[in-house]
Structure 1
Amino acid sequence: MTDIKLSKDDTARIVAKIKDYFADELDQDIGGFEAEFLIDFFAKEIGPHFYNQGLADARTLFHEKTEELTYQIQELEKPTS
């Protein structure tokens, strides 16, 4: 897995959400610098779990669609004697 890279706009939006969360839910102020450190921490420590779950979900979907396609191909078969 490659490192998670966020655009400046995405980072700014996430920083704002973290700051809002800390203010609303924890009644604490957090600076943008600290929020960016949290983003980096979560990306490094928790990101791989979400990444792996995404791969597992994609694998499951791929398997389901492959089975559907197999049945559709079987329906196209002509009877032989």
Structure 2
Amino acid sequence: MASPSLLNQQQIQALAVDVQRYLRDSLEVELGQFDVQFLLDFIIDKAGREIYNQALNDAQTALAGRLESLQAAIWDLEK
């Protein structure tokens, strides 16, 4: 089972419905709820932490850019 710290059960169930629909509509693959849940757990286990860490890195980069802008604005006010 996927780590509960990444997604809660309600989020996983909602994703399972979306994945089940995607597989059916786009790939013409029918999977039951249990099989889709197992697939999602596998994907979350294998990729979840990397995706989460990349999102944190992206947020940190965005915040650093904003901080630079604020510092530049403050320096402009000091002149």
Q: What stretches of structure 1 of length at least 5 have no aligned partner?
A: none
Q: Give yes or no for the alignment of 1:4 onto 2:25.
A: no
- Post-superposition offset of 1:41: 1.0
Q: Give yes or no for the alignment of 1:14 onto 2:15.
A: yes
Distance, in Å, in 1 between the alignment partners of 2:24 and 2:60 is: 39
TM-score normalised per structure 2 = 0.80
Distance, in Å, in 2 between the alignment partners of 1:5 and 1:59 is: 21
Structure 2 residue identity aligned to 1:68: S
Percentage identity across paired residues of the two chains: 30
Distance, in Å, in 1 between the alignment partners of 2:9 and 2:29 is: 26
What residue number does 2:53 align with?
A: 52
Greater Rg by CA: 1
Q: What stretches of structure 2 of length at least 5 have no aligned partner?
A: none
Distance, in Å, in 2 between the alignment partners of 1:3 and 1:12 is: 15
Structure 2 residue identity aligned to 1:12: Q
Greater RCO, 1 or 2 (C-alpha within 8 Å, sep 6+): 2
Distance, in Å, in 2 between the alignment partners of 1:25 and 1:46 is: 22
Larger proportion of helix: 2
Structure 2 residue identity aligned to 1:3: S
Count of paired positions: 76
Off by >4 Å, runs of 4+ in structure 1: none
CA deviations 1:6-59 (Å, max 9, x no partner) are: 242x33321111111221222221010111111111111011221121012111
